[in-house]
């Protein structure tokens, strides 16, 4: 090569070959075998010795963390080779920053000569090396262009609803006739269904895991390994019991995945660019979802309810054993925060529900500066909601007149507004048609030179602006009308749903989550007659809020049975299960205990004074004795 200083040095050559999918497999000149042949012939002609051949087959040039490349770097550092040869510069890599680092820093520091045969690159040829950085930039631009094309192709297939994963998710198999389509795997679909059923009943992820572990069901990775899929068996080597231990992440990923509702999901983690290997996770609401691409194991309604339960961070059971069926549903009407179930430990009741009250979580954490307590007894809430559901269920079955009245009340405003919007929509469509005719007439006048170009531009701009405004308003009106129609359908759907709950005796989380979106609780209010009332607003599925419920809160002592005083025997109503005395005796006993406590306190103080005085007397005697002995010694 011109410009190279002649050397008779015999080199220990490392031949490096690389091929990735980005480079294409249809081009024979880029194959590994061809690269080896070209480089071997070149080394023989030079009379050098091939120390080792390094091959990275199927690795991208944008990343230098390739196994054989890293082995070559270690051999260079160990002094086993002093010359690296590739077919062309792009075989070394397609990241111009890293390529420049190796060519200009690493290789010279280790006295290694680098040659790219087809590109005429040789680190001993200074003139040829001046243009090498530009070659590296072009190689990276090629990789970036290929990356964009591949991503576009994948996105297009994703938008068509084609599944692009290497393996099917747990509960599904790939369709033998179309590997981009999913079919339900009957062997484990019942497990997925059971997981969603447990979640709908208010069970958390940990409880679902314990249930699956007791059933001795293969976890997803173990099931994939059993089907012969590679890359999973390593998780269970040396510990077969791990095959049946479900993790919280496995259950949570199933509950979160729209796949199980029949939707294709993708782009959960996206790299910032081609060079970055970090793929930060996106929130579920930011995932891209293509609906109705395959058969779902659960319905869309069931999946949506589970997402609400997960988002609300349900705590279905507190430490006292109370099953909190309203968790994630009950909210404070003022601040919007959740109301949490709290045990009231100062009282005892036969049933645990009578020992629980709900209180605003914001108030409990931050005090009155943020909100007020909004306390409501769990029993009161339970009874009010159960009665309201039964009322609607009975009405839906037996009272068609009341049903029509509710339908009219809920849709009366919407219907009157819908009529006005429908009238406006007709008017807007009519005006759009007029503008089209005006545009046509205006263009004809321009062609026939009845108006000037300036007037044509002015009038057409005015009409076009009006046209855009009308189209925007028309879109807004259409969306509002669609919402109104959906609400009318929602009322019918709600009535059809609640009919199934006529005569309901008990509430559980499944019933609450099936019927109710949220419950808003107001603060207690003292009325003019001295009674205390509290307002509850229930927002049902499909129809939302209907009527307020006004309840009279239960007094905490009302449920306690009367008992006899252990001192005087008089019957009285206790304030807590631990009470043993009537109010009069309790007052007398508290006074006696207080006097006794004061007497003991005075006695302790008197004794302390005596001990302190004795201690001072001993200290004075010791001082006088020391002085006496000192005077005797001085004599």
Q: Are strands 83-86 and 113-116 parallel, antiparallel or unpaired?
A: parallel
Most confident of the ranges 150-164, 353-367, 432-446: 353-367
In tens, the pLDDT along 64-112 reads 888 899 999 999 998 899 999 998 888 888 877 788 888 888 888 888 9
Domain 163-312 in the same topology as domain 12-128: no
Separation CA 531–CA 449 (nearest Å): 85
CA distances from 363 to 61, 340, 371 (A): 58, 11, 5
Beta-carbon-side half-sphere exposure of residue 572 (alpha carbons within 13 Å): 18
Closest by alpha carbon to 102, among 114, 91, 120?
Answer: 114
The reported pTM is: 0.46
Separation CA 203–CA 317 (nearest Å): 9
Are residues 173 and 183 in contact, defined by beta-carbon separation less than 8 angstroms?
Answer: yes
More confident residue, 242 or 96: 242
Q: How sure is the predictor about 610, in pLDDT bands with cuts at 50, 70 and 90? A: confident
Closest by alpha carbon to 456, among 442, 470, 472?
Answer: 442
Residues sharing a CB contact under 8 Å with residue 69, sequence separation 6 or more, in sequence order? 16, 18, 54, 56, 59
Is residue 116 predicted with pLDDT exceeding 60? yes
Each domain of the chain, given as residue ranges in start order, spans 12-128, 163-312, 323-555, 557-634
Classify residue 47 as left (phi > 0), alpha (psi -120 to 50) or beta.
left
The pLDDT > 90 percentage for the chain reads: 8
Is residue 269 predicted with pLDDT exceeding 80? no
In tens, the pLDDT along 397-454 reads 877 777 777 666 655 545 566 677 778 888 888 888 887 787 777 777 777 777 787 7
Separation CA 46–CA 49 (nearest Å): 9
Q: Cα 392 to chain center, whole Å?
A: 35
Neighbours of 173 (CB within 10 A): 16
Q: How sure is the predictor about 14, in pLDDT bands with cuts at 50, 70 and 90? A: very high
Closest by alpha carbon to 534, among 354, 332, 374?
Answer: 374
Per-residue confidence (pLDDT) for residue 427, from 0 to 100:
85
Q: How sure is the predictor about 17, in pLDDT bands with cuts at 50, 70 and 90? A: very high
3-state secondary structure 498-531: HHHHCCCCCCCHHHHHHHEEEEEECCCEECCCCC
Per-residue confidence (pLDDT) for residue 407, from 0 to 100:
66
Are residues 346 and 239 in contact, defined by beta-carbon separation less than 8 angstroms?
Answer: no
CA distances from 567 to 115, 571, 592, 596 (A): 106, 11, 14, 18
Is residue 141 predicted with pLDDT exceeding 70? no
Per-residue confidence (pLDDT) for residue 460, from 0 to 100:
77
In tens, the pLDDT along 572-592 reads 877 666 678 888 898 888 888
Dihedral, CA of residue 254, residue 255, residue 257 and residue 262, to nearest 10: 100
Q: How sure is the predictor about 557, in pLDDT bands with cuts at 50, 70 and 90? A: very low
The pLDDT > 70 percentage for the chain reads: 81
Average pLDDT rounded to a whole number, residues 255-268: 86
- Helix, strand and coil content of the chain, in percent to the nearest 5, comes to 55, 15, 30
Are residues 159 and 35 in contact, defined by beta-carbon separation less than 8 angstroms?
Answer: no
Give me the chain's average pLDDT, please.
79
DSSP annotation of 26: S
Per-residue confidence (pLDDT) for residue 556, from 0 to 100:
56
Closest by alpha carbon to 251, among 290, 215, 301, 299?
Answer: 215
Per-residue confidence (pLDDT) for residue 29, from 0 to 100:
45
Name residue 53's beta-bridge partners.
15
Are residues 305 and 200 in contact, defined by beta-carbon separation less than 8 angstroms?
Answer: yes
Closest by alpha carbon to 74, among 116, 40, 105, 106?
Answer: 106
Per-residue confidence (pLDDT) for residue 27, from 0 to 100:
47
Q: Is residue 270 exposed (0-12), middle (13-18) or buried (19+ Cβ within 10 Å)?
A: middle
Per-residue confidence (pLDDT) for residue 193, from 0 to 100:
93
In tens, the pLDDT along 169-216 reads 899 998 888 888 899 999 999 999 999 999 888 888 888 988 998 888
Separation CA 17–CA 384 (nearest Å): 76
Separation CA 147–CA 512 (nearest Å): 49
Per-residue confidence (pLDDT) for residue 11, from 0 to 100:
87
Question: Range with the lowest mean pLDDT among 26-40, 195-209, 468-482, 507-521?
Answer: 26-40
Are residues 47 and 100 in contact, defined by beta-carbon separation less than 8 angstroms?
Answer: no
Q: Is the dihedral of CA 227, 232, 234, 238 positive or negative?
A: negative
Please identify, in words, the CATH class of the domain defined by 12-128: alpha beta
Per-residue confidence (pLDDT) for residue 271, from 0 to 100:
62
Separation CA 178–CA 182 (nearest Å): 8
DSSP annotation of 348: -
CATH number for the region 163-312 comes to: 3.90.1750.20
Closest by alpha carbon to 385, among 222, 513, 507, 294?
Answer: 507
Per-residue confidence (pLDDT) for residue 441, from 0 to 100:
78
Name residue 533's beta-bridge partners.
525
CA distances from 6 to 2, 86, 124, 162, 239 (A): 10, 21, 10, 59, 63
Question: Range with the lowest mean pLDDT among 236-240, 425-429, 550-554, 619-623?
Answer: 236-240
Separation CA 4–CA 449 (nearest Å): 75
Q: 46-72 burial by CB neighbour count: b if 16+ within 10 A, else e?
A: eebebeebbbbeebbbbbbebebbeeb
Per-residue confidence (pLDDT) for residue 194, from 0 to 100:
92
């Amino acid at each position: 090569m011109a410009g190279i200083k002649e050397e008779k040095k015999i080199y220990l050559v490392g031949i490096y070959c690389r091929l990735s999918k980005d480079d294409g497999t249809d081009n024979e000149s880029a194959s590994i075998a061809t690269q080896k042949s070209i480089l071997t012939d070149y080394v023989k002609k030079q009379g050098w010795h091939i120390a080792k051949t390094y091959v990275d087959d199927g690795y991208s040039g944008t990343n230098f963390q390739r196994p054989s490349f890293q082995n070559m770097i270690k051999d260079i550092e160990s002094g086993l080779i002093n010359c690296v040869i590739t077919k062309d510069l792009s075989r070394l890599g397609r990241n111009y920053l890293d390529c420049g680092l190796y060519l200009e820093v690493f290789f010279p520091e280790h006295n290694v000569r680098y040659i790219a045969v087809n590109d005429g690159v040789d680190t001993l040829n200074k003139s040829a090396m001046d243009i090498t950085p530009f070659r590296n930039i072009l190689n990276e631009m090629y990789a970036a262009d290929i990356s964009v094309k591949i991503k576009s192709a994948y996105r297009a297939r994703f938008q068509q609803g084609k599944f692009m994963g290497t393996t099917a998710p747990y509960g599904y198999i790939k369709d033998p006739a179309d590997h981009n389509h999913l079919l339900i795997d009957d062997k484990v679909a019942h497990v997925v269904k059971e997981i969603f059923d447990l979640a709908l009943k208010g069970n958390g992820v940990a409880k679902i895991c314990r249930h699956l572990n007791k059933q001795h069901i293969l976890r997803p990775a173990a099931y994939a390994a059993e089907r012969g899929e590679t890359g999973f068996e390593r998780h269970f080597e040396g510990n077969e019991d791990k095959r049946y231990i479900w993790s919280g992440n496995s259950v949570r990923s199933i509950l979160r995945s729209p796949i199980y509702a029949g939707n294709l999901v993708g782009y959960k983690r996206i790299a910032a660019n081609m060079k970055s290997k970090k793929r930060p996770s996106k929130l579920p609401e930011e995932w891209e979802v293509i609906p109705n691409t395959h058969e779902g194991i659960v319905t869309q309604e069931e999946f949506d309810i589970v997402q609400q339960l997960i988002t609300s961070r349900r705590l279905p059971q507190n430490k006292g054993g109370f099953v909190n069926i309203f968790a994630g549903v009950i909210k404070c009407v003022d601040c919007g925060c959740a109301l949490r179930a709290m045990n009231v430990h100062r009282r005892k009741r036969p049933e645990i529900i009578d020992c629980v009250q709900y209180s605003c979580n914001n108030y409990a954490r931050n005090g009155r500066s943020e909100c007020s307590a909004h306390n409501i007894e769990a029993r009161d809430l339970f009874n009010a909601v159960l009665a309201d559901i039964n009322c609607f269920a009975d009405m839906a079955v037996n009272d068609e007149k009341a049903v029509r009245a509710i339908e009219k009340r809920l849709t009366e405003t919407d219907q009157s507004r819908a009529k006005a919007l429908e009238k406006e929509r007709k008017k807007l469509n009519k005006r759009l048609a007029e503008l089209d005719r005006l545009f046509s007439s205006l263009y004809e006048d321009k062609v026939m030179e009845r108006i000037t170009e300036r007037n044509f531009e002015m009038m057409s701009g005015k009409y076009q602006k009006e046209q855009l405004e009308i189209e925007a308003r028309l879109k807004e009106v259409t969306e509002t009308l669609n919402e109104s129609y959906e609400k009318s359908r929602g009322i019918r759907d709600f009535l059809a749903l609640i009919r199934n709950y006529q005569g309901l005796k008990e509430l559980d989380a499944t019933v609450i989550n099936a019927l109710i979106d949220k419950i808003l609780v107001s603060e207690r209010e003292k009325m003019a007659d001295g009674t205390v009332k509290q307002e509850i607003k229930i927002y049902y599925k499909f129809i939302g809020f209907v009527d307020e419920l006004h309840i009279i809160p239960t007094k905490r002592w009302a449920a306690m049975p009367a008992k006899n005083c252990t001192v005087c025997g008089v019957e009285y109503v206790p304030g807590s299960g631990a009470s043993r005395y009537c109010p009069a005796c309790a007052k007398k006993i508290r006074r006696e205990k207080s006097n006794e406590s004061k007497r003991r306190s005075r006695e302790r103080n008197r004794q302390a004074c005596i001990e302190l005085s004795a201690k001072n007397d001993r200290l004075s005697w010791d001082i006088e004795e020391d002085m006496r002995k000192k005077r005797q010694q001085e004599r």
